[in-house]
Amino acid sequence: MNLLNKFKDPKLCLNILEQVKHEIQGQFRFMEVCGTHTVAIFQSGIRTLLPENIVHLSGPGCPVCVTHDREIAAYLELAEKNVIIATFGDLIKVPGPGGRNLKMAQAEGARIQVVYSAFDALQLAMQNPQDKVVFLGVGFETTAPTVAATVKMAKEKDLDNFSVLSFHKLVPPALKALASDKDIQVDGLLLPGHVSTVIGLDPYLFLTDEYNMPAVIGGFEPLDILQAILIMIRQKSQGHASVINNYKRVVNDAGNLRALQVMREVFETSDAMWRGLGVIPESGLALRKDFENFNAFIVHEQDLPDVKNVPGCKCGDVLKGLISPDKCPLFGIRCTPASPVGPCMVSTEGSCAAYHKYSI
């Protein structure tokens, strides 16, 4: 058997599962903070195999799901201005105030173009010099460097028709907000594999230093996930916590220094609003003054409109792990993947969407 097939080997997985059952003492609530983990945990059936005294929660790890209503409202307003909106496809179905989304705006004539990368948006601007192109920037530390590199290129090319509306968010400050929230009670965190590829290990150390909370960077195969759970259980029973990189085949402890440097050159941290979690200090990325010609807030005089919450949607409680998706009164009735009420049901990586797909 080759090396990586082992990550799916049912016998090995069952062995680890047995070890988990053997070693566990007490009740634990673990949370994964990456949408890809959420999907992997459902797909592999791990959720149903875990002993009952482990509750596995899905945290705020889907960039679309944490995009705030007010941010969606800003996108919708911008779409009304005479610009071409370039966006990742995930965003166009996210309902904003009154259930309106970018797809509806498009049907009504707004110029909205789905792109695969920020660089595609830049090319769109180059091909349409008479138009203003705005790229909608969402995503975590994995996406932000790609957008930063694109903004740098726009500056080098001296483009005057390209800008970015940045709602990028940073994972560690959100984890800090979760760890310090007394209501939430998380005993350990399965850290996101690909965000960690960029930021490395250091930004998570506060979790163990300040909160004594086990934290494991894990891959997406069943064995990866089970190993991470076992590591967290062992740390719990030994009463000490550390950050472990259990995904060394992809994640370097130091992260991707080049990506980090480009990101810091273009962006500075700012406060950001997260759906369900509220304002988290220093958890967003805003374009630096040097790049203000590419900042859509300034170029298009866009602000963050006030909005009323989507009535009934419990995404906030779901993202904090306070309730499971099926406890939302709208789940599966008024809110389905075909007709989502909240963003957790929109993205395939959202908790509600994963829950809906694999539990019904």
Q: How many residues form the binding site for ligand SF4 (CB under 6 A)?
A: 14
Query: Which DSSP helix (H) or strand (E) runs through 172?
Result: helix 171-180
Q: According to CB under 8 A, which one of 32, 69, 90, 187 is a site residue for another protein?
A: 90
Coil, helix or strand for 24?
Answer: coil
- Tokens 């979790």 correspond to 207
Given another protein, ligand SF4, none, residue 258, with its beta carbon under 5 to 8 Å by kind, binds another protein
Given ligand SF4, another protein, none, residue 325, with its beta carbon under 5 to 8 Å by kind, binds ligand SF4
- Tokens 């990189």 correspond to 245
User: What are 244's two structure tokens?
Assistant: 């472990």
Euclidean distance between CA atoms 58 and 189, whole angstroms: 10
331 lies in the site for ligand SF4, by CB under 6 A:
yes
Nearer to ligand SF4 (CB atom), residue 284 or residue 325: 325
36 lies in the site for another protein, by CB under 8 A:
yes
Distant-in-sequence, close-in-space partners of 102: CB < 8 Å, separation ≥ 6: 75, 76, 79, 85, 87, 91, 92, 93, 94, 110, 112
192 lies in the site for another protein, by CB under 8 A:
yes
Euclidean distance between CA atoms 232 and 222, whole angstroms: 16
Sign of CA dihedral 200, 202, 204, 208: positive
Sign of CA dihedral 104, 106, 108, 110: positive
344 lies in the site for ligand SF4, by CB under 6 A:
yes
Given another protein, ligand SF4, none, residue 165, with its beta carbon under 5 to 8 Å by kind, binds none
Minimal distance, residue 181 CB to ligand SF4, in Å: 18
Chain residues 95-154 in contact with another protein, contact rule CB under 8 A: 116-120, 139, 142-143, 145-146, 148-149, 153
Q: According to CB under 8 A, which one of 20, 41, 50, 62 is a site residue for another protein?
A: 62
Distant-in-sequence, close-in-space partners of 51: CB < 8 Å, separation ≥ 6: 20, 21, 24
Measure the CA angle with vertex 189, ends 10 and 279; round to 5°. 140
3 lies in the site for another protein, by CB under 8 A:
yes
Nearer to another protein (CB atom), residue 54 or residue 353: 353
Q: According to CB under 6 A, which one of 294, 313, 320, 321 is a site residue for ligand SF4?
A: 313
Given ligand SF4, another protein, none, residue 327, with its beta carbon under 5 to 8 Å by kind, binds none
325 lies in the site for ligand SF4, by CB under 6 A:
yes
Q: Give the type of residue at 276.
A: G
Q: According to CB under 6 A, which one of 335, 347, 349, 354 is a site residue for ligand SF4?
A: 335
Euclidean distance between CA atoms 23 and 162, whole angstroms: 56
**For residue 32, what is the DSSP state?**
E
Minimal distance, residue 49 CB to another protein, in Å: 17
Tally of residues, the chain: 360
Q: How many residues form the binding site for another protein (CB under 8 A)?
A: 44
Euclidean distance between CA atoms 129 and 92, whole angstroms: 24
Sign of CA dihedral 136, 191, 193, 17: negative
Given ligand SF4, another protein, none, residue 279, with its beta carbon under 5 to 8 Å by kind, binds none
Nearer to ligand SF4 (CB atom), residue 62 or residue 280: 62
Minimal distance, residue 95 CB to ligand SF4, in Å: 9
Minimal distance, residue 322 CB to ligand SF4, in Å: 11
Coil, helix or strand for 264?
Answer: helix
Q: Which stretch binds another protein (CB under 8 A): 159-167, 190-198, 275-283, 302-310?
A: 190-198
Euclidean distance between CA atoms 317 and 139, whole angstroms: 21
The residues binding another protein (CB under 8 A) are: 2-5, 7-8, 34-36, 43, 62-64, 88, 90, 116-120, 139, 142-143, 145-146, 148-149, 153, 192-194, 197-198, 221, 249-250, 252, 256-259, 262, 347, 349
